[in-house]
Structures are given as C-alpha cells and as structure tokens.
Structure 1
Amino acid sequence: MIPPSSFNSRSDFDADWAYDYPWGTDHNGGARMDRGQVQFSNGMLTLTARKVSGQPDAVHGGKNIKINYLSGAIHAREHFNVSRGGGYDFAGEFKATTTRGTWPAFWLTAVDSWPPEIDMAEWKGSGKISFNTFNTSSELSWKDVNYPSPDQFHSVKCETQFTKYEILKY
C-alpha cells in the first residue's frame, strides 16, 4: 500500500505520510511532536527527540503535563479496511534505542477511534521490544522479547485479521 520509495524525497513523503499524530502534536506523555525531528533520505526515515524547556504544557485527561522533549512522529495518509475473513501483513526494518526514558514505537490504529490498536513494535527503554494489541479497551494482549543489538536493524512482521489482531513474528 505504501511504496518503498516513500522516504526518498519530500514529494514522495508528502504523497504517503503526514507529520505528527493524526489528532495533533501531543499524546499522553512529556514529548511534543515536531516536524524538525523527522528526516528522510535514500529510503530511510529517522525520527529523533531532543530535550527542550519552555514549551507550553500539554493537557491530557484534564491534567497538565510538562513537555520535556520535541520528538518526531508521522502517520500514513492512506487508510484501509480489513474485510471479514481478510487481513494484511505489515513488515519493516527497524533500529531503535532501548535507552531508559525513551519510547520509540510503530503503531497501527483505527482511523476514527481507539481501539483497536496494534503496536507492531514498541521499545520502552527496558532493553526489550514489546508487541501489544488492543482489540477493545479490556481485550488486550502483549509480548515482550529481548532486543539485542539496538544499534543494528531488525526485521519485524505482523498480521492483521478481521476478528483478531496479533503479532505473528519477530
């Protein structure tokens, strides 16, 4: 659905991707998404975070959250439906830090609501890679796997099915 060339140039990127989260720049943590933290060239995307001060607080659940970092995030412009009995495979090559306090992630979510959510890969600063699925807010599953050599690329593959979302392979 998204061509491998989508990180080759600004025009290729703009055809397939948009900056930030689909809902804006803030989520539920101490980082604000910022376009300056997104770089791409020669088919590779790099998202970074940098420590900042003086940012306006984020608000989540009625609480103010201090913003300590500007971070990169993108989301796909294209949406898809999974037909009953159908599914999709997603695969990628990832290199992500496991440094304490970081949270690089690649998520698949519903277009208009949450859940469902498939966390194809999350690195929560624990030295592991986490695979999580939320079919409903109370029906969830997860698996943590050791993530050796964070300075090297790793292949990650997951499959979506109409009735259940699950990670099949790492």
Structure 2
Amino acid sequence: MGTRYVALALIALAAASLTTLSESELQKRATTLIPCDVFDSVENLETYFYYGYPPPYYDVHDGGARMAKSQVTIVDSRDGPYLQLNATPKAEGVGPPKFGNISLEYISGTITSYQNFVIAPGGRLDMQADFITPVLEGCWEDWWLTGADDKWPPEIDMAEWRGEIGSILSFNLFNDSVTSVAHNEFPYPNPDEWHTVRADMRALEDNITVKVDYFLDGIFLQSQWGNMTGEPMVMILDYQMLAWGGSPGPDFPTFWKVKNLSVVSYDP
C-alpha cells in the first residue's frame, strides 16, 4: 500500500510539474502588443490608436453621434492619467444633421487601433482595461474587435453597455453571420467606480475555434466560442449614442473613462 501511495504521489507531482512547465513556457512567449501606459499621454495614445472609426466609416457609424478628435482627451488626475471620451449634445446647425436615416444629435469620441490583432493557431490574446461608464438612457459604449479591412463578421465585444437596459454589462461574439451570435448579460454595479474587464482569447486545437473567457473585477463570468482563428481584427473604443443605447439621450455632456488598457499575445 505504501509503495502504491508513493507511486500515485510521484504521478501527481509529475503532472503538476508538467502543468507548471506549460504555464512557465507560456509566459516565455508573452509579447506586449499594447502596454498598460497607453493612455498615460497623448503621445502614447497616438502611437497605438487613431481618431474615429476604420474606413469607410471614419466619423459616423450606427448611432446618433458624429466622432471628433476634440472629444478624445487624456486627463491627468490625482489618481493617475486616463483616457476620456466625451459625448456632448450637438449645437443646432453644427455639422450635418443626419447620416442616412440616422439623426446626429451628439459629438463624441472613438478611437481605433493601428494594429491588427490575430489569434494564431496555438496562440492566445489577453486583453484588459479599467472603465468608469455612464449607463444613462441613450449612452452606448463598446470595447470591441471587428474584422480588419471592413470585413464583418468577425466581431468580439469584450465589453458593451447600452443605456436602454441600465447598468448591465454585455459580452457578444458574432461568428459567421448576423444571426450566429453569442450574447450574455450581467449586472454591472456601481458604474461610476472603476471596474476591470478582461477577455482571454485562445485558439483551440482544431485551429478554427477561438474560446473567449470574460472576467469582471477578476471574477470569471462567461465563455463564448467562434470560428475566428487567424482572422485579423482591429480594436475600437467606441462611445456612441442613441440607437442601441435607447432614446432620448442626456441633454448634458457625459464621459466614458478608460485606463490601464493592455494587450498581451502568447503566440507560438
């Protein structure tokens, strides 16, 4: 019996060693694609992001706000710098009143990454950021990935808030059509305080499927799956208004705040 227990212990120890080794090897593969000080200065911001949406949209897309560089600022607060996207009711006569059938009632801020992000076969991307988010009727904030070169889908919404449903955090993954979507909602308490959202994206062994694990303040909430391995995607921090955010919107400026955003790749 003693010999058996020793053998079992050695097997367990070996398995643990393999697990530790695997995690250790994974950390050796870590490459920072966006550092957590990206919003510490305008210079850092403009190294990794440009203002507005990717072409062909540029300054309007889906909602009731036109995007402008003036609505994107770096705030140097007592607790450290952060990105601030400002949605402000548009003064009458300022800019075109409509884009197609959409009434443009706000000026707001959106930024898009220069870099394409790819979850390579055998690879992994970890994305994380801290947010203070207005959840008023009409506000619609989204931290998302979409296909590069105007390809859609794929889409991964690492964090989406829609004021029409209140203080709720949504995770969405559009797989290969508008109807092939994974969607989950969770309570989002105290939205006027900083919260950390994380999405870990891993390519599975079939070299097709990506598994996305979502976390809020370090607590695992949900997994979603999609056929996105090898798909180049851009990151957008998007403060839209109205549309999916509901209506009417606020008649005063609102501010979406973001800090400590980072992207780490563990590609082989």
Alignment correspondent of 1:153: 194
Unaligned runs of 5+ in 2: 1-32, 204-208, 217-268
- Give the letter aligned to residue 67 of structure 2: M
Indicate the residue corresponding to 2:85 in structure 1.
47
Q: 1:10: how far off?
A: 2.3
Which amino acid is the alignment partner of residue 196 of structure 2? S
Larger Rg: 2
Q: CA contact under 8 A between 1:58 and 1:65: conserved in structure 2?
A: yes
One-letter amino acid of the counterpart of residue 122, structure 1: E
Deviations 1:32-88 (A, max 9, x none): 1111110114441011100013331212xxxx2110001110011111222123221
Identity of aligned residues (%): 37
Q: Which has the higher helix share?
A: 2
Which amino acid in the other structure matches residue 30 of structure 1?
A: G
1:101 maps to 2:141: no
Query: What's the secondary structure of 1:156's corresponding residue?
Result: strand
RMSD: 1.5
Q: 1:123-138 to 2 correspondence within 5 Å?
A: 123-125=161-163, 126-137=166-177, 138=179
Please identify, of 35-44 and 141-150, the stretch whose mean Cα deviation from structure 2 is larger: 35-44
Aligned AA (1:156): V
Using the size of structure 1 for normalisation, the TM-score is 0.90
The CA deviation at 1:165 is: 4.9
Aligned AA for 2:118? N
- Which 10-residue stretch deviates more, 155-164 or 97-106? 155-164
Deviation string 1:8-27 (CA, Å, 9 cap, x unpaired) is: 22222211110001120010
CA contact (8 A) 1:120 1:167 kept: no
Q: Retained in 2: the 8 A contact 1:135–1:164?
A: no
Q: Number of paired residues?
A: 166
Matches within 5 A, 1:18-167: 18-23=50-55, 24-42=58-76, 43-52=81-90, 53-54=92-93, 55-56=95-96, 57-59=98-100, 64-112=101-149, 113-125=151-163, 126-137=166-177, 138-162=179-203, 163-167=209-213
1:119, 1:133 within 8 Å by CA — same for their partners in 2?
A: yes
The offset of 1:156, in angstroms, is: 0.6
Pairwise CA distance, 1:160: 2.0
Higher RCO structure (Cα 8 Å, ≥6 apart): 2
C-alpha distance in structure 2 between counterparts of 1:29 and 1:148, whole Å? 25
CA contact (8 A) 2:197 2:214 kept: no
On the 8 A contact 2:158/2:214 being kept in 1, the answer is no
The one-letter code of the counterpart of 2:185 is D
In structure 2, give the amino acid aligned to 1:135. Answer: N
The one-letter code of the counterpart of 2:43 is: S
Letter in 1 for 2:110: A
Secondary structure of the residue that 1:15 maps to in structure 2? helix
Q: What stretches of structure 1 move > 3 A for 4+ residues in a row?
A: none
CA 75–165 in structure 1, closer or farther in 2 if over 3 Å, else same: farther
Aligned residue for 1:4, secondary structure, equals: coil
8 Å Cα contact 1:135/1:165 also seen in 2: no
